[in-house]
Structure 1
């Protein structure tokens, strides 16, 4: 096999962004993927009906239009249409009540009544400094912030909303409390906490700025755009090719690994220095995600019809219930009322549906390594706030947290974040080092969500790891131009069904 200038193992969003960054700097890249298709968490497939694509992992992408990598890459110029729902997310409550966040901050403030002014006071400064907030949160966490007002606004809010007392006192209505707590639950860990508050501030303000976007046609459209760009720049994909040992990549001057910290231990074997290997072995993983996919005959019959217009729906009950449930889940206690996220993509992307058929995407937060089939759990949670949902189900599939790891080894124990998101591991991912991407092995870099800034479809782990490799291996300190190269673009055709 001829050797390119670099090898990338794993073609999730971070592996693809790493390869794009290297290729734009002039390097030739070979990409290795054990699955049949590229994309990792960006895959979409027909599960029950050849005409209906389901998003296998991620479905909604708040960070895709916001991150530096995707801003410069410009998904729209590559044919990816990111749809911004007018209602980014909703939180149903008992008795038909619900909290609704509108893309328009003023509309949200008006709907929240007595808590409207408090919501504006919380979100408006973050929205005003959104670029600074995003670039700080989606960074390698190793440099001073470029936007000091953004950093101060973020820090103050994280400190105030990271404790139980201040979080409860922040709002007077359950609608407002549940909206913010539901977003904080995306941290997938104990509630409340300062790390969850940071996630709430990032995702919460994005609902009012660049939006919680849904790619038209499904998440795979993002992977398609990245793949097309890589093909246009001479990169080679090797699918159905699992790399078992790093020694198989001997001869590549640069190797970037879109794998978990545990995966690096397996691939490297005894080659890693003992101290670094021990740090990787101590790296903690969080609760798992258990996936449920449904093919349904019509829109979800929410008790509150306005919830049906939301891009994402959080099901977790009131704030106290979410505090209790997410903390129990983090402690490894299985319950029958998990926090559930639900997406009916055809609400904002009608092309995803056919007459009498549409996909519904959902997953539940469950204990690490949970083996339960989540289908009944998730369906029951939806039914509580959408009576009659069960009657619309044509077909369904559940994937436990343990099975999710088999699907993607990066999801250790079902942890789709590839590592617990606490304050320490937000910085020391996967080990306490000045350069978190560079491993002690010559030319070998880690570029997965096990590195800063962590999980999400933002491409920044891969981008920052590639920048580190370019700087250290080639002395290239200037960021490569990621803007669209229309003259070299090659359309990427997905496999026929």
Structure 2
């Protein structure tokens, strides 16, 4: 896949074949593009008034302030094998790289920084610098090959077996064990714990290192950039490419049942397993229906979008260099917070992920004003209001933060699900990232279902969550292979 000429099986057109894509998130649009390039007539149906799923930019607070509904920082989009071949920059995407990908402030008023340049990162991490370079350097140097492997189903014949083994052995390790074995300095362990916590797993769980390793490698290989104007520019670029290929997109167009379409229509569904059951369960075999029913969502997110009068007044000035800030203190404190969520509790001092895009992109707010968002992990479907605890955590590292708030938009798990039906109970990761569910996604042969014309292409399939389109790309290729057979 790193070779763009191999993106499609070939370009023989499927004359007269028709494909319907349900959902216009990055995966749905990626699937639509692959099928349109292969000669299918493609239409995309989106239930919301705005396309993009988790990659939307919306006026959630005050006039002139534009907030990303989902993620703002897009390492996986910048490093996606498929998106790289689409040349999104030619369709309006401009990547902005903050001076540092990440800041992790500590109680002593300083911050440990993740620098993009590997040499700078090694120097900044002092006694752990050489070890950091050893662990992440060779993986970063081989990012195209690594990305090609990790965005595939877990069980596949690797083209780069030694590289994937080097990644996989570490990725399977619990983050607590990995950090203790790898790093001597508590500051480095704190930095890694915040990155690993993106997995939504307790840090003692197998696989909890995987997200941390992947994101740390990406920071040095492709950076943690943001798209100028917000995530919507990525979605709009994909829609532009699809339009050039003759595809159509319909918004405010929820699909209640697949029976309204011709029986020989090819369906690629960028939806959760539960939604897939709701719209087409009668077409599936009982065993497959059970697989979908048993697929468990992950923890939820509680998110707050802020309109601000000023930049966040961090005690550690280095935080103003970073697009992302992790708030949680030491490795032990972050691990305790994530452990509480796994037990169904709401931590007093939650681990908070914060993005501050207008420090680097002034198009997102009126002159002199700013936006930021912050979220923490909560049990799936939680109804507990985490606003005070999130803001207390921010205030702890940035005295005077509350004085900067002009307006806030609070997204509880229920609110997130109402704005994107894929986010069941506030789950933004496409399902619990347990070892079993990572190895065995709910579909047959990774993307297929028991109906030969229906494929699942959401983040609940191999490739997992993130704005990278690889679930949709892989699912569309699987559908093309099956169609040829």
TM-score range, shorter chain: over 0.9
User: Is 2:158 aligned against 1:145?
Assistant: yes
State the partner residue of 2:379.
367
CA distance in 1, matches of 2:306, 2:18: 43
State the partner residue of 1:326.
338
SS in 1 for 2:463: coil
CA distance in 2, matches of 1:43, 1:338: 26
CA distance in 2, matches of 1:408, 1:40: 6
Match of 2:75 among 59, 62, 66: 62
CA distance in 1, matches of 2:97, 2:484: 40
Match of 2:286 among 251, 274, 279: 274
TM-superposed CA distance for 1:174, in Å, is 1.9
Change in Cα spacing, 1:386 to 1:123, as seen in structure 2 (3 Å) is: same
CA distance in 2, matches of 1:140, 1:14: 15
Counterpart mapping for 1:375-454 below 5 A: 375-431=387-443, 433=444, 435-454=445-464
SS in 1 for 2:108: helix
8 Å CA contact 2:51–2:235 kept in 1: the answer is yes
Match of 1:296 among 308, 312, 317: 308
Match of 1:263 among 275, 285, 291: 275
The 4+ residue runs of structure 1 with deviation greater than 4 A are none
User: Is 2:483 aligned against 1:473?
Assistant: yes
Change in Cα spacing, 1:112 to 1:321, as seen in structure 2 (3 Å) is: same
8 Å CA contact 1:130–1:209 kept in 2: the answer is yes
TM-superposed CA distance for 1:208, in Å, is 0.6
TM-superposed CA distance for 1:76, in Å, is 1.4
The Cα RMSD (Å) is 1.6
8 Å CA contact 1:338–1:364 kept in 2: the answer is yes
CA distance in 2, matches of 1:277, 1:391: 51
TM-superposed CA distance for 1:163, in Å, is 5.6
Q: Alpha-carbon deviations, 1:152-193, whole Å to 9, x = none?
A: 32123225x426344224212222001111111010111133
Change in Cα spacing, 1:47 to 1:164, as seen in structure 2 (3 Å) is: closer
CA distance in 1, matches of 2:178, 2:48: 46
CA distance in 2, matches of 1:328, 1:277: 32
TM-superposed CA distance for 1:217, in Å, is 0.7
Q: Alpha-carbon deviations, 1:296-331, whole Å to 9, x = none?
A: 011111110001111111112210111111121122
User: Is 2:474 aligned against 1:464?
Assistant: yes
TM-score, length basis structure 2: 0.94
SS in 2 for 1:294: strand
Q: How many residues align?
A: 470
SS in 1 for 2:230: coil
CA distance in 2, matches of 1:440, 1:137: 26
8 Å CA contact 1:92–1:317 kept in 2: the answer is yes
SS in 1 for 2:77: coil
State the partner residue of 2:98.
85
Structure 2: stretches of 5+ with no match in the other structure? 1-15
8 Å CA contact 2:268–2:456 kept in 1: the answer is yes
TM-score, length basis structure 1: 0.91
SS in 1 for 2:348: coil
State the partner residue of 1:71.
84
State the partner residue of 2:355.
343
Change in Cα spacing, 1:84 to 1:163, as seen in structure 2 (3 Å) is: closer
Q: Alpha-carbon deviations, 1:187-215, whole Å to 9, x = none?
A: 01111333221111111111011111100
State the partner residue of 2:244.
232
CA distance in 2, matches of 1:250, 1:190: 45
Match of 2:209 among 197, 200, 204: 197
SS in 2 for 1:47: coil
